[in-house]
Amino acid sequence: MAVVGAGFGGIGMGVALRRAGVERFAIFEEADDLGGVWRDNTYPNCNCDVPAHLYSFSFAPYRNRRIRYPGQPEILNYLRRVVLEQRLAPHLRLGTAIRDATYLENQGRWELMTQSGQAVLADAVVFAVGQLHRPNIPDVPGRAEFTGAAFHTARWDHTQHLSGRDVAVIGTGSSAAEILPSLAATAHHVRVFQRTPHWVLPKPATEFGPTMRTALRLPGAQRLYRHALYCGGDLVLAPIMRRGWSARPAEWAARRYLRRHIPDPALRAKLTPDYPIGGKRIILNNDYYPTLTQPNVELITAPITRLTREGLDTADGAHHHADVLIFATGFRASEFLAPIIVRGRDGQMLHERWRSGASAFHGLAVPGFPNAYLLAGPNTFNPAGSNPTMKEHQIDYIIQCLRWRDEIGATAIEVDNEAMQTHQRWMHKAIAETVWPEAGPSWYKHPSGAVTNPWPATGRRFDQRLRHPPAESFHAVPARVDTQSEHTCS
Ligand code: NAP
């Protein structure tokens, strides 16, 4: 078995493989450390907006029960602990990027090619590379001319001291909202370039009070609280993404929150979205709005026209000085698996299949690509819940697929075209009932407009759909007898 990626998905998959008695597997990781996005994002105040009791594996709760919302260092330490406790370290192949994956039809196996040109054979492959890991750095005219420091939030340059300097931030998503308070506290001047305002809601306190801490010590309380959070997401947050009245209370709360923190009507108008709440990822942050009212912080909404040696020009003819430029411009989330080239049966190329937007059966299998699975694949990001939990559901299903393949004695199994089409019909209908089609571009969508990333229903619905056994939707694929050539690799 080969697993590609050592973030939440790859680590969870490794644990499940060991528990299923599979010991011959490797987890390939491009970087020199595990952790995925929680290794990459080291910007100041990087936090999670999903509570720790839910943003974790069901089998491994956090040790520190005081923390409600974990920060980046806590999550990275948590993942390291899981790897240690579950004895996954011998399976990790760090610093090993997989660049190419080819299905060998005469063997029913996958050949993976590493960046250094080493070939690896695997009975099955699980791509667990995530969705939010490839920085999106817009091609602003004049980018090469800018002489100051410039970096993306997920590649934070810790050698840059921002104290007393003029800092420009492009983008106003969750990452920008998190870095702004610390920038405002150190920099001379912070200019925030907003293209589209996001909806913002307050975030509950990071630490639990004494009563809750005591309650969480009771036997079974952690599990119960996790379940309550799971159900709460389904009952309260999932309806926000649906069109119609169910989003109104959240929109009302967000407008009220905006009015309370932004007294200036002109600034408030700039910060008021013109698309339904939930259309883009809602920002949960208590410091973002107050930071925008500080005297050394300026919100600029005129479009950026070019970068110059010393700053940015905007369409209103203004020039904005910057010593440091921070791209808080998000990720190339709709380019699933890129830059890995994946070749399936009959020479099918996955990136060609996904040219107008990625899709996969339950987000984890694609017809024509036997014995290949995805974690955090298309339409599996749950904006109303916890993604480690979504991944656990997918991992359970993949284990069932592996077991079923062994049970029927097949070399390879592949999802049926018909099952995929039924799945897609359901997906289109479910997406049509959400606010996403009418909202503007975001990382939820492919440039074609197809909604490719978020899951359009409740977490429970995802779990229910994955309870149907693979035998209902997959079929065996025999290895093709090939008398022409015998494929060999090291
Ligand atoms: P993001 O939500 O995709 O935001 C990117 C921002 O950059 C948007 O404001 C976008 O404007 C702007 N932008 C992109 N290209 C631009 C261009 N060419 N010119 C001007 N502006 C441009 O990215 P993110 O803030 O990194 O967050 C991504 C996701 O990561 C979040 O939605 C969340 O799921 C996760 N995250 C979570 C946390 C947390 O848990 N606390 C923290 C950070 C990130 P438009 O809106 O107009 O496109």
- Expressed in angstroms, the distance from the first to the final Cα of the chain is 16
Ligand 1: which atom is nearest the Cα of residue 381?
34
For 278-327, the pLDDT digits (tens) are 999 999 999 999 999 999 999 999 999 999 999 999 999 999 999 999 99
Closest C-alpha to ligand 1, atom 21: 171
What average pLDDT score do residues 229-252 get? Answer: 92
Q: Decide whether any atom of ligand 1 lies within 6 Å of the 176 Cβ.
A: yes
Write the CA distances from 312 to 120, 158, 182, 317, 368, integer angstroms: 47, 23, 22, 10, 47
Closest C-alpha to ligand 1, atom 14: 329
Closest C-alpha to ligand 1, atom 46: 196
Long-range Cβ pairs for the range 342-348 (8 Å, 24+): 342/101, 342/127, 342/369, 342/372, 343/100, 343/101, 343/102, 343/103, 344/103, 344/368, 344/369, 344/370, 344/372, 345/103, 345/105, 345/369, 345/370, 345/414, 345/477, 346/105
Q: Which residue has the higher pLDDT, 151 or 63?
A: 151
pLDDT, the chain, mean = 95
Ligand 1: which atom is nearest the Cα of residue 284?
41
Look up tokens 């990027």; give the residue.
Answer: 97
For 370-389, the pLDDT digits (tens) are 999 999 999 999 999 999 99
Common-topology check for domains 2-134+332-477 and 135-198+280-330: yes
Q: Decide whether any atom of ligand 1 lies within 6 Å of the 287 Cβ.
A: no
Whether 490 has a pLDDT exceeding 80, the answer reads no
pLDDT of residue 210: 86
Ligand 1: which atom is nearest the Cα of residue 178?
42
Q: Decide whether any atom of ligand 1 lies within 6 Å of the 199 Cβ.
A: no
Whether 65 has a pLDDT exceeding 80, the answer reads no
User: In the CATH hierarchy, which fold is given to the domain comprising 135-198+280-330?
Assistant: FAD/NAD(P)-binding domain (3.50.50)
Q: Decide whether any atom of ligand 1 lies within 6 Å of the 181 Cβ.
A: no
Predicted model pTM: 0.95
pLDDT of residue 201: 97
Q: Which CATH code for domain 2-134+332-477?
A: 3.50.50.60
Q: Decide whether any atom of ligand 1 lies within 6 Å of the 196 Cβ.
A: yes
Residue spans per domain, the chain:
2-134+332-477, 135-198+280-330
Q: Decide whether any atom of ligand 1 lies within 6 Å of the 312 Cβ.
A: no
Whether 205 has a pLDDT exceeding 70, the answer reads yes
| Residue 483 pLDDT class (50, 70, 90 cuts) | low
Least confident of 135-139, 178-182, 244-248: 244-248
Cα–Cα distance measured from residue 66 to residue 328, given in angstroms and rounded to the nearest whole number: 30
